[in-house]
Amino acid sequence: MSYALIGRKRTKKSKFYDDDKGSGHVHRKAENVRSWDEFWANNKNEKADCIYDSALGHSFIEEVNTARCKAYINKGITISSRKFARQTISVVITWGIDTGYFGESPPANPCFNVSIRRAKTPKTRGKNLVYTQEELKRIWAACDKLIDKYPFQTSAIKLLSVTSLRKEEALELKWDYVQESTGLIDLPSAVTKIHENQDIDINAHIQFVLDEIKALRKKYSWAMFLPWLFPSFRVKNKNTRPHYSKKFPHKSHLQDIRNCWNAVKLEAKVDGKTSRMKKTHHNLSNEVVSDPYDLIGLTRHTNTAVLEKHYLRHDADKRKQQSKLLDSKFKLIKS
């Protein structure tokens, strides 16, 4: 919230390190700054995209009203950024009212009257884009070419392309979840989006990716100490890797594959996000399995409605043919 109020650079300069305790913890507290007048004298010119440097920040207290707050809040591009701006301004104004800056009879918080409406941009079913077989082949070839530069990350992309896994789910996979004896990858509730225990059948392509990851673990021996399928290079030089992984489990596996995916897209000459591979998997599954209830077993959805609306691609040409067949049923009306 302090970043939104005064900017990131100013906030960093107000940090205080508690050297007496030796803990190295960072506290952002007013009493830890020698003088706020001295702070602003030194950092006033640090311009940033924040409330303090906006027209609202330069307003006098009596000029702060709903219109000015709404004008600043609506500058946000996303719904979440607008909600956060409204919350930040509301907290500051509430503090000012409680402290007495608005006088003995303060007005109501002007942010209470600012409503944020979701833009009505309906998503058509035709926009559920997928990768073709040729594009998937180029993606795998690009991963093979970049595997030395992005080890484990390229394998994660390959696994996403042949499974129903989300990126966040894949990066949190442990070797304990891989049950090769039963041919399953167990997904505990702590990993899945719907917070339910699920599993994925290991087919030939998935086994190929798992074998590739095993080969990478032998090549990078430090990864053998970590429980993750996709360990992070940030623990490469740690002397006590098992202790580090136990104490900081969220830091010892890959947090994202953004840079690798951008390089793969450039090499394979494709576009889109990694989530498109999940849609590709679901549409290929739809070609194999006709029964909708068997289909959600492969895609790991709880119902067919979500799958139909957000994932499956509807063939426009096929729909036109079906419409002509339906039209033949109405011939009696015209005759």
Condensed to tens digits (0 to 9), the pLDDT of residues 285-324 reads 888 887 888 888 888 888 877 777 777 766 666 666 766 6
pLDDT tier for residue 11 given thresholds of 50, 70 and 90: confident
**pLDDT tops 80 at residue 213:** yes
pLDDT tier for residue 119 given thresholds of 50, 70 and 90: low
The pLDDT of 193-216, averaged and rounded, is 93
Give the pLDDT of residue 86: 87
**pLDDT tops 90 at residue 147:** yes
How far apart CA 302 and CA 67 sit, in angstroms, is: 44
Condensed to tens digits (0 to 9), the pLDDT of residues 159-176 reads 999 999 999 999 999 999
The SS3 assignment for 179 reads: strand
Domains of the chain are 2-113 (1.10.150), 127-310 (1.10.443.10)
Give the pLDDT of residue 3: 78
Among 50-54, 203-207, 236-240, 279-283, where is mean pLDDT lowest?
236-240
List Cβ neighbours of 174 (8 Å cut-off, separation of 6 or more). Answer: 227, 228, 229
How far apart CA 170 and CA 164 sit, in angstroms, is: 10
Tokens standing for 180? Answer: 């090769």
Among 89-93, 229-233, 330-334, where is mean pLDDT lowest?
330-334
Alpha helices in 33-171 (DSSP H): 36-43, 66-73, 79-99, 133-145, 153-162, 167-171
Answering whether pTM is above 0.85, one says no
> Using an 8 Å Cβ cutoff, are 57 and 50 in contact?
yes
> Using an 8 Å Cβ cutoff, are 252 and 228 in contact?
yes
> Using an 8 Å Cβ cutoff, are 171 and 257 in contact?
yes
Tokens standing for 209? Answer: 């990716």
List Cβ neighbours of 189 (8 Å cut-off, separation of 6 or more). Answer: 195, 196, 197
**pLDDT tops 70 at residue 114:** yes
Give the pLDDT of residue 215: 96
The pLDDT of 99-103, averaged and rounded, is 83
> Using an 8 Å Cβ cutoff, are 16 and 26 in contact?
yes
Alpha helices in the chain (DSSP H): 2-6, 8-13, 36-43, 66-73, 79-99, 133-145, 153-162, 167-171, 204-219, 241-247, 258-268, 275-288, 292-299, 304-310, 316-328, 331-334
Percent of the chain with pLDDT over 90: 33
